[in-house]
Amino acid sequence: MENSLDIFELDFKDGRIRIQRHFVSNQTIYRVIFSDKRSPLVVTRALTDNAARWWTSIPEGRQREAEEIGPLIADYIKANQS
């Protein structure tokens, strides 16, 4: 059953992004669909060796976008959790 955290939209720069939450192998990933012509992006939270969390793209290569969008996703989830 879907809830407001499974699919949601956010403002991003000069457009909108649609976020879809998925669970794969005990990990939460987010598929980001842009309102412009950019290809979709998949992001997740990763852990460093010293347990620091950071946002990364899957596959790697779109790190800048992941670092910009990840905190927006986290803020939305924090604001909408029940």
Q: Can you give the residue ranges of every domain in the chain? A: 7-80
pTM of the model: 0.89
- For residue 52, is pLDDT > 90? no
Q: What is the pLDDT of residue 2?
A: 59
The SS3 of residue 81 is coil
Token duo for residue 19? 């976020």
* Gap between the Cα atoms of 29 and 21, Å rounded: 6
Identify whether the C-beta of residue 73 lies closer than 8 Å to the C-beta of residue 43.
yes
